[in-house]
């Protein structure tokens, strides 16, 4: 996986045609895409194969949360598609995380990332499901659990990047959704941040969605995000 390309564009589309049009408009500007549950459901794994065949890297955001056997099977299927990253829900615990890591060993290019706390959640949301700790405490708990299970990194908000980098060390992947340029609406993200702030805090990758995909000129918007990282 090429870590010199830290910008991942989220193809949060409800049909394959729109996703393909976005990829075509971005051209050689973008090499890394996130495919989530909506697009995978509507377009199927053939679209992932299509991206990989074009030389793109794919972050398959499945947030796997199932019995270990099923999680391992899904990870092997993702590896066979040629994806670079797949997500497993940290709240699944050690058994699920370790099963994913073990299944990924057959695919040297595949990285297992543990979802900590989704960027739309707040402390009140955690309390609703019986978690009394703060968001930061929960993020750190799940990150440590993921590291112990052998995961390659975590998914967390830009606001969590600094404490995670100091906790997980220099080698861990820290992938941050909820990233927008200054002045852009944060959509559903309760804990957003800018690309520059996320990388400066220790993120290895930033996931950018509507800022790029809904721009009049996606390629120009992507270049603007990249330029913001270089300043």
Indicate the Cα dihedral angle 47, 52, 54, 55, nearest 10°: 160
Our CA angle for 165, 8, 70, nearest 5°, is: 80
Distance CA(106)–CA(140), nearest Å, equals: 28
The burial class, CB within 10 Å (0-12 / 13-18 / 19+), for 16 is: middle
State whether residue 189 is helix, strand or coil.
Answer: coil
Helices 135-149, 161-168: axis angle to 10 degrees equals: 30
In a domain, 1, yes or no: no
In a domain, 166, yes or no: yes
State whether residue 229 is helix, strand or coil.
Answer: helix
pLDDT at residue 185 is higher than 70: no
φ, ψ of residue 174 to 5 degrees: the values are -130, 105
In a domain, 170, yes or no: yes
State the pLDDT confidence band at 48, using cuts at 50, 70 and 90: very high
Q: Total domain count for the chain?
A: 1
pLDDT digits (tens, 9 = 90+) for 146-172: 999 999 999 999 999 999 999 999 999
In a domain, 2, yes or no: no
The percentage of the chain sitting over the pLDDT mark of 70, rounded to a whole number, equals: 94
Question: Per-residue pLDDT averaged across 118-123, rounded?
Answer: 83
Distance CA(214)–CA(183), nearest Å, equals: 15
Distance CA(210)–CA(9), nearest Å, equals: 9
Of residues 185, 142, 153, the one with CA closest to residue 59: 153
In a domain, 94, yes or no: yes
pLDDT at residue 78 is higher than 70: yes
Domain harbouring 16, CATH code? 3.20.20.70
pLDDT at residue 90 is higher than 70: yes
Active site residues: 63
pLDDT at residue 191 is higher than 80: no
State whether residue 105 is helix, strand or coil.
Answer: coil
The pTM score is: 0.93
Quote the domain boundaries for residue 79: 7-230
Instruction: Report the Cα 25 to chain-centroid distance in Å.
Output: 22
The burial class, CB within 10 Å (0-12 / 13-18 / 19+), for 216 is: exposed
């Amino acid at each position: 996986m090429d870590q010199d390309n830290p910008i991942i564009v989220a193809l949060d589309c409800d049909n394959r045609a729109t996703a393909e049009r976005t990829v075509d408009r971005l051209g050689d500007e973008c090499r890394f895409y996130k495919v989530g549950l909506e697009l995978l459901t509507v377009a199927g794994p053939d679209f992932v194969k299509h991206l990989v065949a074009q030389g793109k890297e794919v972050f398959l955001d499945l947030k796997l949360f199932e019995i270990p056997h099923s999680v391992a099977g899904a990870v092997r299927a993702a590896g066979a598609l040629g994806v670079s990253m797949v997500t497993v829900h940290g709240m699944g615990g050690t058994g699920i995380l370790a099963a994913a890591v073990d299944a990924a060993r057959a695919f040297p290019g595949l990285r297992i990332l543990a979802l900590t706390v989704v960027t739309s959640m707040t402390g009140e949301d955690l309390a609703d499901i019986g978690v009394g700790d703060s968001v930061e405490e929960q993020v750190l708990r799940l990150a440590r659990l993921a590291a112990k299970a052998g995961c390659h990194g975590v998914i967390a908000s830009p606001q969590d990047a600094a404490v995670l980098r100091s906790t997980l060390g220099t080698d861990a992947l820290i992938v941050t959704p909820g990233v927008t340029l200054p002045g852009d609406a944060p959509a559903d993200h309760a804990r957003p941040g800018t690309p520059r702030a996320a990388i400066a805090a220790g993120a290895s990758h930033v996931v950018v969605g509507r800022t790029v995909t809904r721009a009049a000129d996606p390629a120009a918007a992507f270049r603007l995000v990249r330029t913001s990282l270089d300043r």
